[in-house]
Structure 1
């Protein structure tokens, strides 16, 4: 009987180790990082965040110093919700502070490199406050708090491709006259633009008219929640930092949320 040599055993171990060390981007890891972001926002202490060595902070589409951004100030958060994208290894967190002296409605995408959810590579925030488009934090909170955001059954979850196409088609409505008709609108869908509620959300839609497409699109797609969030620059109506979130249930658009900052 032949015994494996030490070198042979070592070679076998080396072959196995890389696969065992390969990290997976997990839902719990993404949501844990999102919770750490919310905790830092509540405390106003960015030192509580575990940031990568080449971390980037972006606020309203501009790379900024995190120590001078929104996270450097403590805010009471009255409502929040997060979704997770295991393919992009990113999360989207919406939070609302409506009870303080300076109210905010915020949409933030958090990104991780190499599937490492233990470290945050980028915090990308769209932050709307008093004076921004249709802004009223208390009304926005009231509408969104009443929504149903339970996880979808596996058999009825929209695909990643369907969700991305819906997000892109929505942002293309201002430049493409046919885009609105490609979106599967639900008869009971609700659209919250800033603090304006429209029901059903498939009515009163643009059908082209602008020559400037909405650019700088960054996606967080969560099939389990049936949602896509797109951070972008709303160029069709001006240089406006923007977040558009869409939820699809039973194959139809159920919710649309927009956070739009006046061009600054």
Structure 2
């Protein structure tokens, strides 16, 4: 069995004091992919990752922004950062590790805003990331290993993935060209593991705005994905969004997404 969790912590230092430390101490995951850590490795609270092999890709261009990490019970065989694009080198957007039989990536895809340079940046990332994934998949196949890319993809694939999809058709994260890009990955053989485990239903959502009563009303988005090569996707046994019991008990605006993969 391989248990993998992905979660955008919305700042590791803040999350640690709100309940993330207790969650991490109790998780049964073999691998935990973190996004939006917003910290350099030396800034992580002392002892937080004790017992884990921790690998980091912090944002070097703007401290306190972005950042991804991967925690694993087993020591990685290899570690790589970035997507082979100089623009995003040191941006804290992508990190991957090789573990026995599988490459696991932690992704924090840019969050765009329509009509601004942020959306242009997001679109450029999409243009570079698709061929990177194709190359990584080909190399992994040659090595007889699977690939799993977890993280905050900042794109909801379909209407079932946003409670208020009609009000978001012109917003970043649900733009037609973004959904087409993601559909191209899924149509090209990558597996949306959570959707495969929860067909024909709304959600399960993994992000809720802090504004209003979005969490209480479950007015969320499903933007935190496990995207796997077919062999690994077929091994998924369960996929659960670890939604907090109440708004007050949240330690991030995202919830952990945990998938159990069988042998």
Is the TM-score greater than 0.5? no
Q: TM-score, normalised by structure 1?
A: 0.28
| Structure showing greater Rg | 1
Compare the two structures and name the one with the higher strand fraction. 1
Structure with the bigger RCO (C-alpha within 8 Å, sep 6+) is: 2
